[in-house]
Chains A and B, each alone.
Chain A
Amino acid sequence: MAYLRHLDPGFWRRRFATAVGVLLAVGCAGRADAQTARAALGDSARLDSLRRFYRVPPPDVQQITVAKFLGAPGSTIGSPSASGAGVGDYFFGVGFQERTRYTDRPDGGFGAGAGLGDPESGVALETTVTSFSSVRHAFLSIGGFSFKVHHRDIPHMMLYAVGIENALTWGHTDGGTSVYGTVGHVVPLRSGDDAAFGVLSTSVGVGTGRFRSEADIRNHRHTVGVFGGLGLRIVAAVSATADWTGQDLDAGFTFTPFAGRGIVGTMGVADLTRHAGNGPRFIMSVGFGFNARRDNRRLSPEDLSAVFRTP
């Protein structure tokens, strides 16, 4: 039958006519669809264009976290903290002892430093220059450079630091060089803004030099000493600190009288347990730290009432 159909001239005519008809129909329908699509596309593109024209770029605002309290209390008085200065951070401070060990003579010194690097995303280097001379000898006639490399692990509230104290010295310094490593941890004890007794800072470290016991130093034993401390925020502006320096216990209070202003005062007593030296001594310091890049704007009560509404 198939063979016969191919021999039938009418069969091919009919097949050709059918094919042409289908093609024409498809062609017409395609043109109509394309026109409709082009028109729709044109409307859509025009609407998009109009909307792009009328839309306004978002304002240059951002959501930020503002800490109303400057920072966790320090956990050290006589030993180095695990925190440190990062890029843009600068500080200076003066220290005073009512009398030095085994003497009745007061003593003072001055230090200033700066940081490099971001301690939160990596590590930062803190460099400090210290003048151990103040009154009896000319300022900066006895001094040293100290370095600290440190890291802040904000999510876990951990602080890590290694440093070398008085790495380079000049003049007749009696402190010597000390190398140390220390780890700090901040523990929020209570929720609520600036809650009394709300934050505990802890730190523990090991070091050579002055972190060894007084007996080891006297006997020139090359040991490694352990130091560490606790700091408890009593109220927002006052913290209590107890610190084992590797030789004896220091304890006192740290004051941050102006929140966000970077002024820190410390008063305490050194050599409380008479493990070293010849009895307790009054010590104090005043320091100022700031970040030259830090946003100095403050929160007003009104700032806290703002609410962004997603359209």
Chain B
Amino acid sequence: MALAAGALLAAGSPAGAQVANQSDVTGIPITSSSVVSPVFTVAVGGAARVITFTTPQIAVAYQQAAGRINAQLSSQTFTTQQGFRAPPATQNLLYEVVSGGTGSAAASAQLLDRLTAGNASPQAVSSAQAFVEAFRGLLAKGIDMKPQFFNSLTATQLANSVAAYNAFIDASPAAYLSAPPPEVMAVRGILAQLTAH
């Protein structure tokens, strides 16, 4: 930078012909971005660290997927990418949880029971609890996203759901995963579709 400055100064001609009163350069200069200097400079103060969807387009795709899955669960027509269709009772249970309505608390407790039946190691139960807590109301939150905002709550809830679900899978034994309840297959299908952008 110093070299460049030196070279430029050396190359710079003496002042150009000052033929008049320098009226072109004695106001606010419009010869550089100085006219908007607060825009292209370092940002200070008021910064926050937030989790958000990587791009606005991904947020929109997520919102659309949330709406589609919510409608399919509501009509018990949700099918995973592998073609698995959970029984209507399972889809109804999951709909109650992810729609976050008044029945979601009882549905969440029921989902936790289903996930931990035959898989009751402390780590699996703890992960399942964290998952159900994060999963509750997930689609409702996604549908309500406002594209002009970062929607950190929704992005974080999705990240929490996936992280807790994967921790639950990692804490589950082979016997459980060989023949899991349909809720596991359906949850996997829902999360896979929500994260496929």
Contacts and interface: CB of A to CB of B under 8 A. Distances in A.
A309 B163 contact: yes
A16 to B, nearest CB: 47
* Among B20, B21, B54, B188, residue most surrounded by chain A Cβ atoms (within 10 Å): B21
B38 A80 contact: no
Interface in A126-148: 126, 128, 130, 132, 142, 144, 146, 148
Interface string A261-294: 0101010101100001100000111011110000
Nearest to B165: A56
B13 interface: yes
Interface in B117-173: 127, 130, 134, 146-153, 155-160, 162-167, 169-170, 172-173
Nearest to B168: A311
Chain A's interface size range is 35 or more
Nearest to B55: A295
B41 A159 contact: yes
A13 B58 CA distance: 80
Interface string B1-26: 10011001101111111111111111
Given A65-B48, A71-B43, A308-B51, A109 B24 contact: yes
Given A159-B42, A306-B153, A176 B47 contact: no
A1 interface: no
B31 interface: yes
Interface in A87-139: 89, 91, 93-97, 100-103, 107, 109-111, 113, 115, 123, 126, 128, 130, 132
Given A95-B30, A177-B15, 16 more contacts: A51-B169, A54-B177, A56-B166, A65-B47, A70-B39, A86-B40, A95-B28, A113-B32, A174-B22, A178-B16, A179-B9, A303-B50, A306-B152, A306-B156, A308-B163, A311-B130
